[in-house]
Structure 1
Amino acid sequence: MSREEIHPASEPRLDPPVHPVRGGVVGVVLLAHGGKETSHEAPHRRGGPVTRMRMIARAVAPRLAGRGVAVHTMCFRYQGWNGAERAPVPDVWWAAARLTERYGEVPLVLAGHSLGGRAVVNAADAPGVVGVLGLAPWLPAQEPTGQLAGRRLLLAHGTRDRVTSPRSSYEYAARARAEGHDVARIVLPGSGHTMLSRARDWNRLVLAFSHTCLLEQHVVAADANRTRPPRYADVIAEAFQAAAPEGLQRVLTPAGRVRS
């Protein structure tokens, strides 16, 4: 293990775009990795949480790049949330600011797994953010919701997750929905915390949510006739339209069917 991997990082890191975008960039997706409750060690750059988000990024970036959306991954300074320090939250803000410097004022989707899901939910009010996606997110009781105003939030959780709580993500979604925020939630039976089981469905949710938030307004009639929306875009749209509790527990079966 290198010295760089075992000592705390002085600042977060924003990785280069996963896939080149030819022409103008109309939107950006930023993916944030998981971590631990408490740790001031730097994330392992080839460790499981970082690698898992890079796998998702590589799966979705080519299709999004073809429509003018850049996909980036990032690394936090520390592996841990670290209590009141909420260490990953300013890291997400920092990365969002760097993306604005690079691409201008284009809309941004934040997606995060586990601790990264908690980080992006808490950083939802960063400038430019239009959508937030929590993948198996860690959302303890009393997590704030005010930062969601004007943003769209989608949470997704596997039923076999033993690391973060599907019940807690439902309770957070229900509370945010009751407060008037634009929130939906999707359940993946049989999938656990690493999202390796049913990995293709997790990839499709990231792709479809990013498309919904960043590209729907750019689709013109001629485009719509040529290009079909990504798979599960309709599932996501229906979840946002459905009243609670149905819109917060849309079950996406392994066969790709949906039930409440």
Structure 2
Amino acid sequence: MTQQVEPGPTARLGRAVGTNGAVAGVVLVLPPGEPESARGPSALAHTSVRALTRELAGAGAAEGLVAHVVRYRGRGWNGDAARLAADAEWAVAEVVRKYGDVPVCLAGVGMGGRAALRAAGAGAVNSVVALAPWLPDGADGTQGADAEPVRQLAGRRVLIVHGTNDERAAPELSFRLAARAKKSNREVCRFEVHSDGHGMRQHRAEVRALSTDFVLGSLFGRPYARPLADALAAPPPLGLRMPLSTGFGRG
């Protein structure tokens, strides 16, 4: 069930990156954020996802893919307000207004990954990519990640990618969320990037190649690469702890 969205005056789509022709699909890239903050949007967080945005748009140009970075109202999730998720839902509605009935993929990084997963119930969304998603750990006595909703992921294809040495966003929390989602949605998979940290910088090329393969396959029906197809088809926990091979996407 999607939440009620009140688009703030500063939430907006970044400039379109991609085709100059007919738009057949859109990927909305959701930058990192912070658990709690009253500060405005982070220019640094926005800049950090530009390369991923360009790569996705370039790879899908022939199919009519356009990418936008979502510019949040502020950088904080802020508890029950879930502001980053609300801004993501607003952005999906804006895409429909701007481009019509086209499929949308939400691709989020860090706290943006949490926003992508939470906002997946928006009607035009057909797929979600969550890279190193930050999820609450429940250390304060709350239920944490186990209380994160997953019903909105039904009917969506979902890819989660997480470094095993991530000290900022616990990888085990994204595994637990994926396992709960997989119970009602076969098309959930999760890859582990061994010995890599939150930014997955050691295997950045492989992570981007995997994300691109998933986005183009989900939006336009391209055949998935064999490891991705195997991960989606495998029962848990196999399909949720798939190792991302060094050199994925090369050759």
TM category, shorter: 0.7 to 0.9
Distance 1:171 1:61 in 2: 31
- State which of 227, 231, 245 in structure 2 corresponds to 1:239: 231
1:78 matched to 2:74? The reply is: yes
Partner of 1:15: 14
Secondary structure at the aligned position of 1:137 is classed as coil
Partner residue, 2:189? 184
Match of 2:142 in 1: none
Aligned pairs for 1:164-175 (under 5 A) are 164-175=169-180
Q: C-alpha displacement at 1:10, in angstroms?
A: 4.1
Per the alignment, residue 141 of structure 2 pairs with none
Distance 1:147 1:201 in 2: 28
The partner residue of 1:116 within 86, 106, 112 is 112
Residue 24 (structure 1) shift: 1.6
> Which structure 1 residue ranges, 5 or more long, are not aligned?
1-8, 220-228
TM-score when scaled to structure 1?
0.85
- Map 1:39-188 onto structure 2 (within 5 A): 39-45=37-43, 47=44, 49-139=45-135, 140-180=145-185, 182-188=187-193
Q: Which amino acid aligns with 1:30?
A: L
CA distance in 1, matches of 2:103, 2:154: 15
Amino acid at match of 1:240: L
SS of the counterpart of 1:39? coil
1:215 Cα offset (Å): 1.2
- SS across alignment from 1:73: strand
Give the corresponding residue for 2:5. Answer: none
Distance 1:179 1:29 in 2: 24
Query: Which structure has the bigger radius of gyration?
Result: 1
Give, in whole Å, the separation in 2 of the partners of 1:17 and 1:119: 20
Using the TM superposition, give the Cα deviation of residue 210 of structure 1 relative to its aligned residue in structure 2, in angstroms.
0.7
- TM-score using structure 2 length: 0.87
- Give the secondary-structure state (helix, strand or coil) at the position aligned to 1:124: helix
| Deviations 1:119-170, CA, capped at 9 Å, x for gaps | 1101001121000111000132310011111111111101121100110000
Deviations 1:61-117 (A, max 9, x none): 112112211111112111111011111111001111111111110100001011100
Number of the residue aligned with 2:29: 31
CA distance in structure 2 between the partners assigned to 1:159 and 1:70 by the alignment: 31
Q: Which runs of 4+ in 1 moved over 6 A?
A: none
Q: How many equivalent residue pairs?
A: 233
Matches of 1:74 and 1:181, distance apart in 2? 28
Could you list the runs of 5+ residues in structure 2 that have no partner in the other structure?
1-7, 136-144
Question: What RMSD in Å do the two structures reach over aligned CA positions?
Answer: 1.7
